């Protein structure tokens, strides 16, 4: 036991930056911004400053790493809402990644978790062809009628509530056809490279296609590198930083030769991680400068649409459905990339659409990558409270900017019994419907 604790302390010393830890003044401004603190009866252990105190204590050898400290770190959503609230600018997100990397470097994993991690991080989220293959299996499950049979016989009742609800919220997977881009954009206003993402370009392929069509409609020339891979966010957030760096280098190589104005993405979580490649590869002599150049070109789809004049385009649209819409922020889009106003500006400019602000839009919905699968109880607690707030807006459409948030909100709609009068849409898909 002593040996393992010594190894853990050494791992924290090696991986967790002491200067970043000492930036925390323990002022408590982060507390009301932290969903897990609010949903654990204000338990300091589940707050940002409480977790930073644990990081320092383990690093200094004051406390031992045990099940209670591990629970505190695992229960963190990684939403980074504490960062905009922090007057000292504590780099909490990177501290969390470093802590999880330290733990993974020492911790002895059960065989089941070892296999799961290897399948996910060494195959599924590393090789896009593997992701495509997995998506085809999901499509076969839906298209063959097996999904209807499984639901009819009640087989899904054997699964945990979150998995059961997510299966019902799963989008209909389209047939993955070879994509063709327009060759007729004359005198393009911008040259754009599109980061398609792994989940977005398979499960949410239609949203990606709508993104391309919107950008071409606004006069952009699009290029899509075929050697790009998963952004690496799930790796980085799960303590697999070296594997995340591998993905980052692959993506930088894929986009490096392109002469484009921007590299656009339509998934808030991906965009935040892409924009921090400079931090991730800061110690890499071959890629540090390339990563900074890459980061400088990253832009979210809503920000790019505003730059391209989407608001002026919307003024001329005859859309008279009278939708009442609200918006749920992607945590990383808001808290890391600091994109807050652009989606709201777009939604308020749509003629015939009425926008109402969701009071808790800036608080995480409980999705957080694979958090809703690993920490189902807390995720559902957060989600169910979120749906109470949604219900009070009377909105018929919830707009999101991230695939995980989209699935989570659809799950919440189902859990709240609101399927008949409320739906969740990605902002791109909603704009495509409006402009069409």
CATH number at residue 350: 3.40.50
Q: Is residue 415 part of a domain?
A: yes
Q: Same structural domain for residues 224 and 285?
A: yes
Q: Same structural domain for residues 119 and 80?
A: no
Q: Same structural domain for residues 142 and 72?
A: no
| Model pLDDT, residue 1 | 45
Last residue of a domain, one of 70, 85, 106: 106
Q: Same structural domain for residues 233 and 286?
A: yes
Q: Is residue 357 part of a domain?
A: yes
pLDDT in tens, the chain (436 residues): 457 778 999 999 999 999 999 999 999 999 999 999 999 999 999 999 999 999 999 999 999 999 999 999 999 999 999 999 999 999 999 999 999 999 998 888 777 777 777 766 666 666 777 767 766 676 776 677 776 776 677 766 666 665 666 666 667 777 766 776 766 677 889 999 999 998 888 888 999 999 999 999 999 999 999 999 999 998 898 888 999 999 999 999 999 989 999 999 999 999 999 999 999 999 999 999 999 999 999 999 999 999 999 999 998 887 777 899 999 999 999 999 999 999 999 999 998 899 999 999 999 999 988 888 788 899 999 999 999 999 999 999 999 999 999 999 999 999 999 999 999 999 999 999 999 8
| Model pLDDT, residue 180 | 67
Q: Is residue 417 part of a domain?
A: yes
Q: Same structural domain for residues 328 and 298?
A: no
Q: Is residue 178 part of a domain?
A: no
Q: Same structural domain for residues 377 and 411?
A: yes
Q: Is residue 233 part of a domain?
A: yes
Q: Same structural domain for residues 89 and 128?
A: no
| Model pLDDT, residue 370 | 81
Last residue of a domain, one of 252, 286, 305: 305
Q: Is residue 252 part of a domain?
A: yes
Q: Same structural domain for residues 333 and 360?
A: yes
Last residue of a domain, one of 257, 277, 305: 305
Q: Same structural domain for residues 410 and 327?
A: yes
Judge whether 315 and 63 are in contact, CB under 8 Å.
no
Q: Is residue 174 part of a domain?
A: no
Q: Same structural domain for residues 101 and 115?
A: no
| Model pLDDT, residue 169 | 64
- Considering its fold, how many domains does the chain have in total? 4
Q: Same structural domain for residues 93 and 132?
A: no
Q: What is the 3-state secondary structure (H, E, C) of the chain?
A: CHHHHHHHHHHHHHHCCHHHHHCCCCCCCCHHHCHHHHCCCCCHHHCHHHHHHHHHHHHHCCCCCCHHHHHHHHCCCCCCCHHHHCCCCCCHHHHHHHHHHHHHHHCCCCHHHHHHHHHHHHHHCCCHHHHHHHHHHHHHHHHCCHHHHHHHCCHHHHCCHHHHHHHHHCCCCCCCCCCCCCCCCCCCCEEEEECCCCCCCCCCHHHHHHHHHHHHHCCEEEECCCCCCCCCHHHHHCCCHHHHHHHHHHHHHHHHCCCCCEEEECCHHHHHHHCCHHHHCCCCCCCHHHHHHHHHHEEEHHHHHHHCCHHHHHHCCCCCCCCEEEECCCHHHHHCCCCCHHHHHHHHCCCCCEECCCCCCCCCCCCCCCHHHHCHHHHHHHHHHHHHHHHHHCCCEEEECCHHHHHHHHHHHHHCCCCCCCEEEEHHHHHHHHHC
- In terms of residue numbers, what domain contains 80? 2-106
Q: Is residue 179 part of a domain?
A: no
Q: Same structural domain for residues 385 and 398?
A: yes
Please give the model's pTM, rounded to 2 decimal places: 0.88
What is the domain-level CATH number for residue 33?
1.10.1060.10
């Amino acid at each position: 036991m002593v040996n393992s604790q010594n190894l853990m302390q050494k791992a924290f010393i090696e991986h967790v930056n002491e200067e970043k830890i000492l930036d925390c003044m323990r002022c408590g401004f982060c507390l009301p911004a932290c969903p897990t603190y609010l949903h654990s009866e204000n338990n300091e252990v589940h707050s940002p400053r409480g977790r930073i105190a644990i990081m320092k204590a383990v690093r200094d050898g004051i406390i031992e790493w045990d099940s209670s400290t591990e629970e505190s770190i695992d229960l963190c959503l990684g939403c980074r809402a504490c960062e905009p609230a922090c007057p000292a600018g504590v780099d909490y997100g990177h501290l969390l990644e470093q802590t999880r990397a330290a733990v993974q470097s020492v911790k002895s994993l059960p065989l089941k978790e070892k296999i799961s991690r290897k399948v996910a991080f060494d195959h599924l989220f590393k090789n896009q062809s593997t992701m495509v293959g997995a998506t085809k299996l999901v499509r076969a499950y839906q298209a063959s009628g097996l999904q209807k049979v499984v639901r009819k016989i009640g087989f899904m009742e054997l699964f945990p509530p979150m998995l059961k609800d997510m299966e019902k919220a799963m989008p209909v997977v389209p047939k993955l056809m070879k994509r063709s881009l327009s060759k007729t954009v004359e005198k393009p206003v911008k040259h754009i490279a599109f980061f398609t993402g792994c989940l977005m370009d398979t499960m949410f392929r239609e949203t990606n296609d709508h993104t391309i069509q919107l950008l071409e409609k606004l006069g952009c020339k699009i290029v899509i590198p075929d050697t790009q891979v998963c952004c690496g966010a799930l790796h980085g957030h799960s303590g697999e930083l070296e594997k995340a760096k591998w993905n980052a280098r692959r993506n930088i190589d894929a986009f490096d030769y392109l002469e484009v104005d921007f590299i656009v993405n339509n998934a808030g979580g991906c965009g935040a991680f892409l924009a921090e490649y400079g931090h991730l590869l800061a110690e890499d002599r071959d890629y540090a400068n390339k990563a900074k150049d890459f980061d400088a070109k990253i832009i979210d789809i809503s920000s790019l649409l505003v730059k391209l004049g989407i608001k002026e385009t919307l003024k001329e649209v005859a859309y008279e459905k009278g939708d009442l819409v609200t918006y749920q922020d992607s945590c990383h889009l808001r808290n890391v990339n600091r994109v807050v106003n652009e989606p709201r500006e777009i939604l308020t400019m749509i003629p015939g659409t009425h926008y109402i602000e969701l009071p808790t839009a800036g608080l995480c919905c409980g999705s957080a990558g694979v958090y809703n699968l690993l920490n189902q109880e807390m995720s559902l607690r957060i989600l169910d409270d979120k749906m109470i707030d949604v219900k009070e807006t009377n909105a018929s459409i919830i707009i999101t900017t991230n695939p995980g948030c989209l699935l989570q909100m659809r799950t919440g709609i189902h859990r709240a019994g609101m399927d008949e009068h409320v739906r969740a849409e990605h902002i791109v898909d909603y704009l495509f419907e409006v402009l069409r």
